[in-house]
Amino acid sequence: MIRRFIFFTFSIIFLSGCTLSDFNRDNFVKTSSSAAGGYIGYHLSDGDLFSTSIGSTVGLIFGSYLADFIGQDDYYFYSQETLKTLEINDNNQSLVTGYWKNPKSGNNGVIKIKGYYGRPNCRLIEHIYINSNNIAQNSYDTACREESGQWAMIK
């Protein structure tokens, strides 16, 4: 029974990777962990509906944390620090530099607010990306303040 479950799970992973063009990794991790939790709850309680539901819920909660952890790539750390730096910059009315580091990859970067332009309020951002081999690359991004007051990265 467990072999069939494992085979079925890997088959779904393989097929979904090949057939879905707009694959959402976070939703897949959450759904898979919820299904696995329900399966474990079902077998530990000999088919009790309550235990199956509890197992599925615990799996979904675990999957949410797992999806958040998996999604923390370099761009995640860069964008979080950029948004924080933009808020500090607006509050202090001075150009501020931000620094980020991804503890998983060892990559890091420097964020510099270069100037203001356009409507809505947009900022030019210089990003100096330093990989784990200490090789630096410069790139430029834009962030604009939305009507809600939040900053949004423009890719």
Same domain? 54 vs 108: no
User: Is the domain of 62 the same as that of 82?
Assistant: no
pLDDT score of 27 more than 50: yes
93 in the same domain as 49: no
Residue 110 shares a structural domain with residue 88? yes
Helix (H, G, I), strand (E, B) or coil at 19: helix
**150 shares its domain with 78:** yes
Determine if the peptide bond prior to 120 is cis (ω within 30°).
yes
Task: Name the E strands within the chain.
Answer: 97-101, 108-117, 122-130, 136-145, 151-154
List phi, psi (to 5°) of 137.
Answer: -135, 135
Q: Which residue has the higher pLDDT, 74 or 13?
A: 74
Residues 115 and 150 in one domain: yes
Same domain membership, residue 61 and residue 80: no
**How many domains does one find in the chain?**
2
d(C-alpha 40, C-alpha 51), whole Å: 9
Phi-psi region of 8 (alpha: psi -120 to 50; beta: other; left: phi over 0): alpha
Residues 78 and 145 in one domain: yes
Contacts of 94 (CB under 8 A, 6+ apart): none
- 134 and 79 co-located in one domain: yes
pLDDT tens digits, 68-127: 565 557 788 888 888 888 888 766 566 678 888 888 778 889 998 887 776 658 888 888
Looking at residue 48, its pLDDT comes to 73
Pick from 40-44, 45-49, 57-61, 79-83 the range whose average pLDDT is largest. Answer: 79-83
Examine the fold and report which residue of 49, 70, 91 is the final residue of a domain before the chain moves on: 70
Give residue 120's identity as a one-letter amino acid code.
Answer: P
Residue 108 tokens read as 């890091």
In this structure, what token pair is assigned to residue 138? 């410069």
Distances 87 to 4, 35, 40, 110 between C-alpha atoms, Å: 52, 40, 45, 16
Domain extent, residue 136, equals: 74-154
The domain boundary, picked from 24, 47, 70, lies at 70
Same domain for 65 and 6, yes or no, is yes
- On whether the CB atoms of residues 76 and 99 are closer than 8 A, the answer is no
36 and 20 assigned to the same domain: yes
Final residue before a domain boundary, out of 32, 51, 70: 70
Q: CA 97 to CA 86: how far, in whole Å?
A: 9
Within this chain, do residues 7 and 31 fall inside the same structural domain, yes or no?
A: yes
